A and B are shown apart, each in its own frame.
Chain A
Amino acid sequence: MRRPPYHRDPGGRLEVKMTPMIDVIFLLLIFFVCTASFRNEEVLPLPFPPLPGTIETAVEIDPLEEDLDEIVVKILWRDGAVFWEINGQEYYDLDRVEGVLTTIRRLKSDLPVILDVEPAVPMENVIDVYDLCRQVGLEKVQFAAPEV
């Protein structure tokens, strides 16, 4: 690279060629373009403890009753489709499930939620429900286990 000739204009001031500076700017630009990632990988933490132990299934509780100790959300799988059951009531729409969880959260905000998931359910549906609980504000989510 030729040394940029230092010109002096008639007024005696120094002027410098911009070309190398533009080279450097392009290099930096290319670096940031190459390393930019648009898919941010994040984590969903599982609160302690993740698996509470054996739970009884088919507990019949009126969902509007206020003295709930815990809420069991079952995630079920039939013929390639996921559906949910909360306290004996079946739901086929995730928005309805969100509504129920929001109502429950208003009744008792630190209620533990237990997810009882069938083995065939894909992880995206499990994470959907877990994410929904966190969004609604129910932080204590646990997964039911056959035995610990």
Chain B
Amino acid sequence: MRVPANLTRGGLGFNMTPMIDVVFLLIIFFLVSSHLAQQESQLPLDLPGAASGENPREDETRRVVINVVHEESAEGQIVVAGRRMKTDELEKLIRYERDREPDRELEVRIRTDRRVAYGVVQPIMLACVRADVWDLTFAVIEE
């Protein structure tokens, strides 16, 4: 980049354009990386489709996201925050989350693959009810 040596014109000697480019680059980098980081926390699943879905609440609600994947083996289908677990451990986790902050609402979001059998999801719902969590939602794909 050429540095202007002559400043006797009375105006600013350096041009703003590269600076604006760099600022835009930084903005775009942080936007993209935060967007991707948020998406990474969601396990890619073939969610069931529904037409009457609502937009998820983006407020301060505490949320436990339970992913249920569809796999050949029957065991270990429940994945929470990257960890595979069974229903009893899941119930302990929900109770723990519930007791951590008893005066804040806890939402449990169940993200299942569309091929997962209801028999796998029903114990999860029962575990939530036993842990006194009533705010359950199912994640769906907009149809």
Contact = CB atoms under 8 A, between A and B. Distances in A.
| Chain A partners chain B | yes
28 contacts: A24-B21, A24-B24, A31-B31, A31-B32, A40-B142, A41-B42, A41-B140, A42-B50, A42-B139, A43-B56, A43-B138, A44-B139, A45-B54, A46-B137, A49-B134, A50-B128, A50-B129, A50-B134, A50-B136, A117-B118, A123-B113, A123-B114, A124-B114, A124-B115, A127-B50, A128-B48, A130-B138, A145-B125
Nearest to B114: A124
Main secondary structure of the interface of B (DSSP, over half): mixed
Given A43-B55, A50-B136, A145-B122, 6 more contacts: A20-B17, A40-B142, A44-B54, A46-B136, A134-B52, A135-B52
B48 to A, nearest CB: 4
A49 B129 contact: yes
Interface in A96-148: 117-124, 126-128, 130-131, 134-135, 143, 145, 148
B139 A120 contact: no
Nearest to B113: A123
Interface in B93-143: 109, 112-119, 121-122, 125-126, 128-130, 134-142
Given A41-B139, A122-B114, A4 B15 contact: yes
A81 interface: no
Contacts of B52: 44, 131, 134-135
B7 interface: no
A41 B56 contact: yes
A43 B56 CA distance: 6
A123 B112 contact: yes
B115 A123 contact: yes
A74 B14 CA distance: 75
Interface of B: 1-2, 4, 15, 17-18, 20-21, 24-25, 28, 31-32, 35, 39, 42, 47-56, 68, 109, 112-119, 121-122, 125-126, 128-130, 134-142
Interface of A: 1-4, 20, 23-24, 27-28, 31, 34-35, 37, 39-46, 48-51, 75, 117-124, 126-128, 130-131, 134-135, 143, 145, 148
Contacts of B56: 41-43
